[in-house]
Amino acid sequence: MLTQPWINLKKAIEKGNAKRLVSLIEKISVSERARAFSRLDPETIRAMFLLLPSEYAGDLLEELPDEQAADLVELLPSRDAFEIVDSLSTTDQADILADMEDDKAEAILGEMSSEDAQKAREILQYPEDSAGGLMQTDYISFPEDSTIGEVLDDLQGNASTYSDFQTQYIYLTTLDGSLAGVIRLRDLIFSPRITRVRDLKIKDPLSVPVDMILDDMVQIFEDHKFLGLPVVDGAQKLVGVVRRKNILEAYDDKNTDTYLKASGIVGGEELRSMPLRERSKRRLSWLSINIILNIIAASVIAFFQETLSEVIALAVFLPIISDMSGCSGNQAVAVSIRELTLGLVKPHELGRVLLKELGVGLINGLILGLLLGAAAWLWKGNVLFGLVVGGALAVNTIVAVSLGGLIPLFLQRSGKDPALASGPILTTVTDMCGFLLALGFATMSLSYLN
Amino acid sequence: MLTQPWINLKKAIEKGNAKRLVSLIEKISVSERARAFSRLDPETIRAMFLLLPSEYAGDLLEELPDEQAADLVELLPSRDAFEIVDSLSTTDQADILADMEDDKAEAILGEMSSEDAQKAREILQYPEDSAGGLMQTDYISFPEDSTIGEVLDDLQGNASTYSDFQTQYIYLTTLDGSLAGVIRLRDLIFSPRITRVRDLKIKDPLSVPVDMILDDMVQIFEDHKFLGLPVVDGAQKLVGVVRRKNILEAYDDKNTDTYLKASGIVGGEELRSMPLRERSKRRLSWLSINIILNIIAASVIAFFQETLSEVIALAVFLPIISDMSGCSGNQAVAVSIRELTLGLVKPHELGRVLLKELGVGLINGLILGLLLGAAAWLWKGNVLFGLVVGGALAVNTIVAVSLGGLIPLFLQRSGKDPALASGPILTTVTDMCGFLLALGFATMSLSYLN
């Protein structure tokens, strides 16, 4: 790969050569396209999407991460954006519109036929992580009194339409559109043509209410082996289908979000192709809270300036105590968040988590305290100095580990996102506590330290 | 839920009432069972698995997270463990054996028939995240010159066996067992019985070599819509099938691992039901490296003790500078790891990442430096003191953000796991650099600071 693919793309776009552009894009594998497009400047991307047939442009958008697709569509004039978005399925439309800025999404909805716009708005109204937001609206349904022969004939007659649906199930409905049953497509193979479909249907079909949240759907797909589940509205009418694959992908996205949020990347995934201002702003929103919490925590040191100026060597150990306690506490935070996600612990089980973390805190606090205390003793040749430093780290490790285990449970109980807030709360409290312990111990034993 | 389900379980186990035990387990939903079992003490768990029929015990194990299943099996005498593990599919056997301690896994393999043990060892030899480690060995294959009628008759005759396989494809093989083609099960519906299956087969069927790594398989499933892909050995012989669902789940596990590793939980997921010693040891393995890195970083402060004792107020700001730079750098680490995972950046694109991060570093460094510098100025009433503190944070933010973006790329290039090592390397370097900047600036302007 001597020439990067986007260099050729850019040339074809500049020449306005649509045919060559399509053949170049086809040569880039689907998984490489996101990277190639992220290397083109906004002007070139705009020219590219105006050059491509809308249907083809729509197919390209479907393959990209939602955030990237939304950013690209935002670059286009609303009429052209509409033509591309119009070629997508309602679910894909909603995914992209949801990630766009409100006024630009509204402009596209305004270009749509009132019927299409209403459909898209219906899906948009559901939270992205609910059954309504994740469902597909393409599915195959038949009246429940059809025969297998009738169904097979219809399937064969419309094979080209249905082959896009990727569904493994056929849904049976009553006359008023309510869900009556489900049949596995493959079961049609194993039965004679004259059988009525209702005789094959899975008894008591599971269905998902349109407002069910992602975590509950993950549990249902864990408890049952179905590849897809029908979604019903309040009146039990069939409105869509959620597929195992989409639920697993959404769950994966959510887990990724946990990692990014815990690292201080909030407000959706950051891609380096996003505008600099946007990236700075997102990261600062979290850093600016953090700097204030940091100042509050460090103000403890200001109260002990006298002690510190007498035992200046302690200044070397304050950042170590602060950092190590933060690390120990964050380990406990990660285990709690993971156990909450897996359902292995419930937010009210504070006692159990505290007990389990106290054990680890005692052992690790003792060992780390001994290590750091010994280092301090060796360096200064003063046992008491080692005791002050090691004791502060030991006690603070116990505090940090216990708090780290409990904070995510508290946040979950009060409806806050544990991945986002646990870290800053934890480090602020353990920093304050660590400084207080080290400087407090030092003040108490001041006369013996120098 | 007034009584916790495990209290009743424990009673039934103590009474040795197997029938009541099964009916109690059946009442707990599958997703709740992992939590219920994690609340029983090792003695009770052992008694439970000895009480249950092996097949049923095997079904229970399949539903649990692999780590938990392996821990439970380790509690049993090897003969009983064997009987339960023997009822599992070869893939599930390998998953559990891989997570067990080596001697205990060997004991179970020793109880197996030499043929079964060899099969399990074959899968065990593949890395867990390769096609061989993730493939299913249950699949449906036919000689390529069969007719649809023959295939349908066989499917109907063996419906009960095949219905467990969950495959959506039929694989066609030549006489020597090489992969010849693939047919979608549903396509059988749309064609007459006399057609030969080879006429329906997907042209140029994609197959996966047995040593392909997870990331490459994720890309293939992203590029193509198949639900499963055949796995072939070096001689093109069909040896198994990887399913989209399993690949997505393995990928999700890997992403979760990224989060846990970045938080300092290494060596697989920690569950609080694991023994205390094990949990302490795992966490300490990471913390003990960290404390040494911390001591190295903080030793910079020791070199500047004279400066520090003259400007003791600086001791308040050292932990703030260290913590804030760590936060800024970790944001960049998270974005790089995510972009590497998505394939949006390649490990050699150092220049691009540096440029993109320098932009954010300049803006955020300036803003954060101004904030902290103003706070320091207001507190001490000395502009120069504000400049020293704010300047150090500003410069160190630029360093931290650039390094944070680049370190994961370097680690990936040298075959190391970026999630594991990026954090400790980053914070050690930025701590040292931050202390050096703040204390160095202070030393240079010492005569004006007091």
State the smallest CA–CA distance between residue B331 and chain A in angstroms.
6
CB nearest B315 (choices: A263, A301, A368): A301
- Across B299-330, b (16+ Cβ under 10 Å) vs e yields ebbbebeebbbbbbbbbbbbbbbbbbbbbbbb
Residues 6+ apart with CB under 8 A from A300: A431, A432, A435, A436, A439
Percent of chain B with pLDDT over 90: 28
Instruction: Check CB contact under 8 Å for A364 and B188.
Output: no
Residues 6+ apart with CB under 8 A from B343: A31, A32, A34, A35, B219
Closest chain A residue to B295, measured at CA:
A320
Convert the pLDDT of each residue in A410-429 to its tens digit. 998 988 888 888 888 999 99
Tokens linked to B313: 């107020």
**pLDDT bracket for residue A399 (50, 70, 90):** very high
Range A16-33 average pLDDT: 85
Dihedral (Cα; B22, B27, B31, B35), 10-degree rounding: -70
Range A184-203 average pLDDT: 77
Closest chain A residue to B38, measured at CA:
A344
pLDDT of residue B1: 42
CB nearest B32 (choices: A308, A335, A343): A343
pLDDT of residue B55: 84
Instruction: Check CB contact under 8 Å for A30 and B375.
Output: no
pLDDT of residue A2: 44
Let me know if the fold of B5-129 is the same as that of B141-260.
no
Domain ranges in chain A are 5-128, 141-259, 276-449
CATH assignment, B141-260: 3.10.580.10
Chain B CB contacts of A334 below 8 Å: 259-260, 263-265
DSSP B222-261: HHS--SEEEEE-TT-BEEEEEEHHHHHHHHHHHHHHHHHH
Chain A CB contacts of B26 below 8 Å: none
Percent of chain A with pLDDT over 90: 28
Which of B31, B150, B197, B431 would you mutate first to test chain A, the one with the most A CBs within 10 A?
Answer: B31
Convert the pLDDT of each residue in B94-149 to its tens digit. 888 888 888 888 999 988 888 888 888 888 888 878 898 888 877 888 888 888 88
Range A212-233 average pLDDT: 85
Residues 6+ apart with CB under 8 A from B280: A359, A360, A363, A364
pLDDT of residue B203: 67
Question: Is it true that domain B5-129 has CATH number 1.25.60.10?
Answer: yes
Q: How far is CA B326 from CA A123, B338, B372, in A?
A: 41, 18, 15
pLDDT of residue B396: 96
Q: CB-based contact (8 Å) between A185 and chain B?
A: yes
CB nearest B31 (choices: A186, A222, A345): A222
Is the pLDDT assigned to residue A191 strictly greater than 70? yes
Chain A CB contacts of B305 below 8 Å: 312-313, 315-316
Range A278-302 average pLDDT: 89
Q: How do strand B141-143 and strand B169-173 relate by DSSP bridges?
A: parallel
Residue A150 CB-half CA count within 13 A = 12
**pLDDT bracket for residue A384 (50, 70, 90):** very high
Instruction: Check CB contact under 8 Å for B34 and A342.
Output: yes
What H or E segment, with its residue span, contains residue A177? none
Taking the C-alpha atoms of residue B273 and residue B39, their distance in angstroms, rounded to an integer, is 7
**pLDDT bracket for residue B437 (50, 70, 90):** very high
Convert the pLDDT of each residue in A318-374 to its tens digit. 999 999 999 999 999 989 988 888 778 889 999 999 999 999 999 999 999 999 999
Convert the pLDDT of each residue in B1-20 to its tens digit. 446 788 888 888 889 888 88
Q: How do strand A179-184 and strand A169-173 relate by DSSP bridges?
A: antiparallel
Range A127-131 average pLDDT: 84
Highest mean pLDDT among A191-195, B350-354, B416-420: B350-354
pLDDT of residue A166: 63
Is the pLDDT assigned to residue A25 strictly greater than 50? yes
Is the backbone of residue B236 left (phi > 0), alpha (psi -120 to 50) or beta? left
Closest chain B residue to A159, measured at CA:
B190
Is the pLDDT assigned to residue B202 strictly greater than 80? no
Taking the C-alpha atoms of residue A131 and residue B202, their distance in angstroms, rounded to an integer, is 34
Taking the C-alpha atoms of residue B73 and residue B77, their distance in angstroms, rounded to an integer, is 9
Give the ranges where A304-417 is alpha helix by DSSP (H): 305-310, 314-342, 350-380, 383-413
CATH topology of domain A276-449: Tetracycline Repressor; domain 2 (1.10.357)
Q: CB-based contact (8 Å) between B335 and chain A?
A: yes
Of A93-97, A184-188, B121-125, B417-421, the one with minimum mean pLDDT is A184-188
What H or E segment, with its residue span, contains residue A189? none
Q: How far is CA B74 from CA B36, B172, B274, B389, in A?
A: 18, 40, 12, 55
Tokens linked to B443: 């030393």
Closest chain B residue to A253, measured at CA:
B252
- Give the closest residue to B257 by CA, choosing from A341, A256, A142, A276: A256
Taking the C-alpha atoms of residue B172 and residue A166, their distance in angstroms, rounded to an integer, is 22
Is the backbone of residue B110 left (phi > 0), alpha (psi -120 to 50) or beta? alpha
Convert the pLDDT of each residue in B383-418 to its tens digit. 999 999 999 999 999 999 999 999 999 998 988 888
Q: CB-based contact (8 Å) between A344 and chain B?
A: yes
pLDDT of residue A165: 64
Range A54-58 average pLDDT: 87
Superfamily of domain A5-128: MgtE N-terminal domain-like (1.25.60.10)
Place of tokens 């997570």: B99
Taking the C-alpha atoms of residue B107 and residue B112, their distance in angstroms, rounded to an integer, is 9
Chain B CB contacts of A290 below 8 Å: 323-324, 327
**pLDDT bracket for residue B313 (50, 70, 90):** very high
Determine the residue type at A240.
G
Arithmetic mean of pLDDT over chain A: 86
Highest mean pLDDT among A238-247, B103-112, B376-385: B376-385
Taking the C-alpha atoms of residue B214 and residue B99, their distance in angstroms, rounded to an integer, is 18
Q: Which of residues 215-254 of A touch B (CB under 8 A)?
A: 219, 222-223, 225, 244-245, 248-249, 251-252
Taking the C-alpha atoms of residue A343 and residue A363, their distance in angstroms, rounded to an integer, is 27
Q: How many CB pairs under 8 A join A and B?
A: 303
CB nearest A223 (choices: B31, B320, B352): B31
DSSP-based three-state secondary structure for B272: coil
Confidence check on the interface: ipTM exceeds 0.85, yes or no: no
Which of B25, B259, B290 would you mutate first to test chain A, the one with the most A CBs within 10 A?
Answer: B259
Residues 6+ apart with CB under 8 A from B232: B178, B179, B207, B208, B209, B210, B238, B239
State the smallest CA–CA distance between residue A15 and chain B in angstroms.
26
Chain A CB contacts of B339 below 8 Å: 271-272
Taking the C-alpha atoms of residue B145 and residue A15, their distance in angstroms, rounded to an integer, is 51
Q: Which of residues 52-111 of A touch B (CB under 8 A)?
A: 63, 65
pLDDT of residue A359: 94
pLDDT of residue A385: 95
Instruction: Check CB contact under 8 Å for A331 and B273.
Output: no
DSSP A98-140: HHS-HHHHHHHHHHS-HHHHHHHHHHHHS-TTBHHHH-BS---
**pLDDT bracket for residue A3 (50, 70, 90):** low
pLDDT of residue B301: 93
CATH topology of domain A141-259: CBS-domain (3.10.580)
Range A261-285 average pLDDT: 82
φ and ψ at A279, to 5 degrees? -65, -45
**pLDDT bracket for residue B377 (50, 70, 90):** very high
Range B354-378 average pLDDT: 95
**pLDDT bracket for residue A402 (50, 70, 90):** very high
Range B310-330 average pLDDT: 92
Convert the pLDDT of each residue in B39-97 to its tens digit. 888 888 889 988 888 888 888 888 887 788 888 898 888 888 998 888 888 778 888 88
Q: CB-based contact (8 Å) between A324 and chain B?
A: yes
Which of A162, A261, A320, A430 would you mutate first to test chain B, the one with the most B CBs within 10 A?
Answer: A320
Range B203-210 average pLDDT: 84
Is the pLDDT assigned to residue A168 strictly greater than 80? no
**pLDDT bracket for residue A188 (50, 70, 90):** confident
Q: Using alpha carbons only, give the angle A280, A286, A289 rounded to the nearest 5 degrees.
A: 125
Of A184-188, B25-29, B74-78, B119-123, the one with minimum mean pLDDT is A184-188
CB-based contact A425:A399 (threshold 8 Å): no
Range A282-289 average pLDDT: 87
Q: Which residue has the higher pLDDT, B114 or A128?
A: B114
